[in-house]
Amino acid sequence: LDGHVVGRVITEVEVHHERAIRRHLAGASDFAGRLRGHTVHAAQRRGKYLWLVLDGEQALLGHLGMSGQLRVQPEGAPDETHLRVRLRFADHGPELRFVDQRTFGGLTVTELVDDVPEPIAHIARDPLDPLFDPAAVVSAIRRRRSAVKRALLDQSLVSGVGNIYADEALWRAGLHGGWPTDALPVAKGRALLAAAGEVMTEALAAGGTSFDALYVNINGQSGYFDRSLNVYGQAGRPCNRCGATILREPFMNRSSYSCPRCQPAHLMGLASLRRTGAAASTS
């Protein structure tokens, strides 16, 4: 979006489905009025939210939900079946369209508070944010009475890491998600956050992880990071690092995938870490 809408002036706003702007409580005409005539200054994101910075400390905030898409399309291109909102620009260049089959996602115009849209001020920075502070995040994780994977998915601690990328990051860091957070060594915590950042960077380069044709870029193309997954969805297959059989365990109505050898459960892990620690302290 940064390369396609920044610097352009919004001239027309069409809301085709009220549900797509249900978080904008003042309704469609207010929504359109707050956008019309305004210049887009930046495209930013935090966690699962993204926003366009507008004049006057305002932002167009969006969440894609399960099936939302922001598409950049030439004026006059046929409307998508599930077109919900359309923005036209003063230069008559490509339109910005919000398309959402299930309409769990949505758009709203909101105030910016310290450069972050007010409704998402409680969401923590993600590992790719230039101001992400790994040391502070590891401390916050260790203070939680929780398990490491739950903490990694808690958006008030760190954002942008969903179930798939959490499993991949835990595998890279050699850590089982069931570890108690207060037993997480600082160095392991730092390794985990670094791994989460790596996974996200690689996934972005691949265009995302698409198990679903609805996850697309602004041109409607799917990503292919699913071909690079080491543990997620790999139950029964050999671990790419050690050859042990990848396990699937139930986790919060979903699944967790891990290698039983590379990611030992807590007690075994603690013992091996103590050995490592002892070796390190005598060397």
Nearest to 5 by CA among 50, 43, 55, 46: 43
Q: Does 173 interact with Zn ion (rule: CB under 5 A)?
A: no
Q: Residue 4 or residue 248: which is nearer to Zn ion going by CB? A: 248
Report in angstroms how near the CB of residue 237 gets to Zn ion at its nearest: 11
Nearer to Zn ion, 68 or 264 (CB): 264
Report the residue number, 110 or 256, with the smaller CB distance to Zn ion.
Answer: 256
Longest dimension (CA), the chain: 71
Backbone angles phi, psi at 151, to 5 degrees: -65, -40
Quick one: which of 102, 143, 261, 275 contacts Zn ion (CB under 5 A)? 261
Is 262 a binder of Zn ion (CB under 5 A)?
yes
Whether the CB-CB separation of 142 and 180 falls below 8 Å is answered with no
Residue among 58 and 263 whose Cβ is closer to Zn ion: 263
Question: Minimum CB separation from Zn ion for residue 241, in Å?
Answer: 4
Region class of 192: left (phi > 0), else alpha (psi between -120 and 50), else beta: alpha
- Report in angstroms how near the CB of residue 173 gets to Zn ion at its nearest: 12
Least distance in angstroms from the C-beta of 244 to Zn ion:
5
- CA of residue 175 relative to chain centroid, distance: 21
Q: Does 268 bind Zn ion (CB under 5 A)?
A: no
Binding mask 213-242 for Zn ion (x = CB under 5 A): --------------------------x-xx
214-248 residues labelled b (16+ CB within 10 A) or e (exposed): bbbebeeebbebbeebbbbebeeeebeeeeeebbb
User: Binders of Zn ion: how many residues, by CB under 5 A?
Assistant: 7
Handedness of CA 9, 11, 15, 19 (dihedral sign): positive
Residue 36 vs 266, nearer CB to Zn ion: 266
Q: What angle do CA 177, 180, 184 make, to 5 degrees?
A: 90
Shortest spacing between CB 182 and Zn ion, in angstroms: 26
Q: How far is the CB of 179 from Zn ion (least distance, A)?
A: 16
C-beta closer to Zn ion: residue 98 or 257: 257
| Least CB distance to Zn ion at residue 176 (A) | 11
Of 18-26, 119-127, 159-167, 255-263, the segment contacting Zn ion by CB under 5 A is: 255-263
| Residue 211 per-residue DSSP state | S
**Residue 259 engages Zn ion in binding (rule: CB under 5 A):** yes
* Smallest gap from residue 239 Cβ to Zn ion (A): 3
Sign of CA dihedral 248, 170, 240, 271: negative
Distance of CA 103 to the CA centre of its chain: 18
CA angle 241, 245, 251 (to 5 degrees): 100
Name the amino acid, one letter, at 31: F
Q: Does 252 bind Zn ion (CB under 5 A)?
A: no
Which residues would be at the binding site for Zn ion (CB under 5 A)? 239, 241-242, 244, 259, 261-262
